[in-house]
Amino acid sequence: MDKVTVMKDIDELTDTYCEGCLVRQQLRQERGKQGAHLFCIEHCSVGKQLQFLGQELMKIYQ
């Protein structure tokens, strides 16, 4: 994978699934921004995919 492809994949995921996510909105009201973020990175399949892409991006920069 190259940097441009990874960045496009990240943008596509966030635009498609994260923007307007009702679960995230509800958790932000109940738990605050940090609580919603923790849910996204620990339990959400999209968040896990974003983490994977972030790791791939770090490999490119090293």
What confidence tens digit (pLDDT) does each residue in 15-37 have?
A: 999 999 999 999 999 999 999 99
The pTM is what?
A: 0.85
**What is the token pair recorded at 1?**
């994978």
Q: Is the pLDDT confidence value at 1 over 80?
A: no
Query: For residue 31, which amino acid is it?
Result: R
Contact 50, 34 (CB under 8 A): no
37 dihedral zone (left: phi>0; alpha: psi -120 to 50; beta): alpha
Contact 54, 46 (CB under 8 A): no
Q: Tell me, what's the pLDDT at 58?
A: 93
Query: For residue 46, which amino acid is it?
Result: V
What's the rounded Cα separation, in Å, for the pair 60 and 15? 23
pLDDT band for position 61 (cuts 50, 70, 90): confident
Share of residues in the chain with pLDDT > 70 (%): 100
